[in-house]
Each structure stands twice: as C-alpha cells, then as structure tokens.
Chain A
Amino acid sequence: MDQAAAEALAGAFKLVGYGLAAIGPGIGIGIVAGSAIEAMARQPEAAGLARTTMFLGIAFTEALALIGFVLFFIA
C-alpha cells in the first residue's frame, strides 16, 4: 500500500473512531436531559435545581465525546 492510501485509510479510521466515541455520550446526554425534563414537569418549583444538575450531568457525559474529538486531531 502506498503512502497516500495509507494516510487516507488512517483518516477514515479516525472518523469512524470519533463516530464510535460519540455514541455513548449521545445516549447519555439524552437520558440526562430526558430525566431532567421529567423532574421539572413533576416538580416545577424545583426546576432551578434540576436545571443546574442537568448541566452538570451533561458536562460530565459530554467529556467523553470531546476527548474523542481531541483524539481525532492528535491520533
């Protein structure tokens, strides 16, 4: 395999890797946001607390996808 084809293949694998890295956090953020909406609907007076906690949960979950994004560039 020549050099250019190898580089193209490596780039394609990076893209697939990032796609795989985004699956888990995607599901996770969905669960976090869904539960937060449910909590806000059940108890509107606690909406502020639910919103803050939701942002925290999203921030922790999102980190995995972002690490995948950074690895896409440095790998």
Chain B
Amino acid sequence: MELILATAACDPSVDIICAPANVNELFEFREAIFTIAGFPVTRTVILILSIALIVSAFLFFGLRKKSIVPTKFQAAVEAIILFVRDGVAKEIIGEHGAKYAPWLLSIFLFILVGNMFEVTPFINFPVTSRMALPVLLAVITWVVFVFAGIKRQGFGYFLGIIWPSTVPIFLRPLVGLIEFFSILILRPLTLAIRLFANLVAGHLMLVLLIVSGWVFISSVGDIGARAGIGVAWFVMGLGIFVFELVVIVLQAYIFTLLSAVYVQTSLYPEH
C-alpha cells in the first residue's frame, strides 16, 4: 500500500512510466511500530525474527521423527541439508568441510527465506535489501574465514597475505598490498553489495512495473485506450516475478558458495 501511495504524484495522462517520486523510500528507515526496552521494533525487525522462526520450524518439523523411510517433507529437508553439506561444504572446502556445514546451512536458509519475502504476497519486501543485513552476514563470514586462517596457520596467515612467498621478491610488496585489500576489505564488501544490489534491483523492477500497471489500469476512465499500456507493464512485471524466483535461490546459493570458497582459501592458501 505504501508503494502505491508513492506514485500518488504520478499523472498517468502525462507520464509514460510512473516511477515512485522518491526511490529513497527503499533505503530510509521507517518509524518503529512499537518499542521493547528501548529497542525500536520496525517491520524489518519483525520479518528478521520471523525468518528465524520459519527456519527453525522448518528444520525442527522436518527432522523431528528420523524415520528410515522418510516422509516427503523430511526428504525435502534432508535434500537441502545434503545439498549444502556435500554440494557446497565438502566439495569446495574438502573432506574437513563438513565441520562448516551447519554455519553454511544457516546462512543459506536465512538468506533464502529472507529473499523469499520479496515475492511473498502481502509482504513483498526482501529483508536482505536493507544494507545492514547483508553487511552483518558478510562480517560474520569475514570473522569465520579470518579465524579459520589464524587457527590453521597461526599469524603466518596475515604474513602469507602481505608477503606472499610464492611471488618473486621484488613484486612481493605490490602483490601483498593488492592481496591485503582484496582479501580483507573487498571480499566482505562485494559479498554484501552483491546480495544487497541484486535484491534492490529486483524489488525496484517489480515495484516499477506492477505499480505502473496498476496506476494505468485503474485510471482507465480518464485516459481511455492508453490505459492498455498498463496491461503490458503488468504482464512484464509477472515475467520479472518468475525471473526473481531464480535470482532469489541463486543469490542465496552464491553467498553460501563464496563463503565456503573464502574459508577454503584461508585454510589451504597454496591452492
């Protein structure tokens, strides 16, 4: 409803495309719905907490009765867990990767459900399009892969980054500088921006197309046959909906995959 109000300034008899007047609507913080002990609770916070509930319930009810012949639901849950454990953790990190599987599974399911809110009717808001959440997830990944490196190689991990011994000695300062920036700064930054920008872009496309369609079709009395453009916007919006479903799953997968790759490179720097 708020999104529809954003186009109130749009005059469909003049404008071809009705863009929300203020795109910053997506980035601004809304007022808190209520406050618990000084912590303001916004819609985003409620959605984040509901992600935790949904994921916990999904895993709990899926794995409650571990029968030999699984029900369909249990088989689906097990398929996702096996996909993350064998397809991501063991394949990327190696045999010892199963240790990281619970963390990767949490990241995967959290981002997947958070992204799914983008196409859930009546919610239509990907929680991961708030920059705070991708940044938090990227910082967690950063902490995990830096600590994995320190645990395995000691402080030689940092030495290996800024003074790489496989490079000719006169190139080491330059390569070390580039490696330092790319591993410790650019990695978490791009990890966060990738998730954030994909979801914002998808959300913007959906909002523009479907809201434009709604504005045009609903003003059929004023502008006559030109309202037909709205049908085209609407159909395109539904096409983007399907495309976004693919993006949602792919982004959750890519975030998990890249986290695993980063852990792998800090565990086995020779590869």
Q: A55-B253, A56-B261, A59-B257 are in contact. Are A66 and B91 (CB under 8 A)?
A: no
User: Is the CB of B151 closer than 8 A to any CB of chain A?
Assistant: no
Assembly CA distance A56 to B254 (angstroms): 7
Do A69 and B261 touch across chains, with their CB atoms under 8 A apart?
no
Give 1 or 0 for each of A61-75: 1 = CB within 8 Å of chain B CB. Answer: 011001101100100
User: Is the CB of B190 closer than 8 A to any CB of chain A?
Assistant: yes
Q: How many of A's residues come within 8 Å of B, CB to CB?
A: 12
Do A63 and B190 touch across chains, with their CB atoms under 8 A apart?
yes
Interchain Cβ contacts within 8 Å, total number: 36
Q: Per DSSP, are chain B's interface residues mostly helix, strand or loop, or mixed?
A: helix
Do A69 and B257 touch across chains, with their CB atoms under 8 A apart?
no
Do B194 and A66 touch across chains, with their CB atoms under 8 A apart?
yes
Q: A52-B91, A55-B250, A73-B23 are in contact. Are A66 and B193 (CB under 8 A)?
A: yes
**What residues of chain B lie closer than 8 Å to A67, measured between beta carbons?**
190, 193, 197
- List residues 34-75 of chain A with CB under 8 A from any CB of chain B: 52, 55-56, 59-60, 62-63, 66-67, 69-70, 73
Q: Per DSSP, are chain A's interface residues mostly helix, strand or loop, or mixed?
A: helix
Do B258 and A70 touch across chains, with their CB atoms under 8 A apart?
no
On A, residues with C-beta under 8 Å from B are 52, 55-56, 59-60, 62-63, 66-67, 69-70, 73
**What residues of chain A lie closer than 8 Å to B190, measured between beta carbons?**
60, 63, 66-67
Assembly CA distance A56 to B255 (angstroms): 10
**What residues of chain A lie closer than 8 Å to B258, measured between beta carbons?**
56, 59
A to B CB contacts below 8 Å, 12 in the list: A52-B92, A52-B257, A55-B250, A55-B257, A56-B258, A56-B261, A59-B254, A59-B258, A66-B197, A67-B190, A69-B200, A70-B196
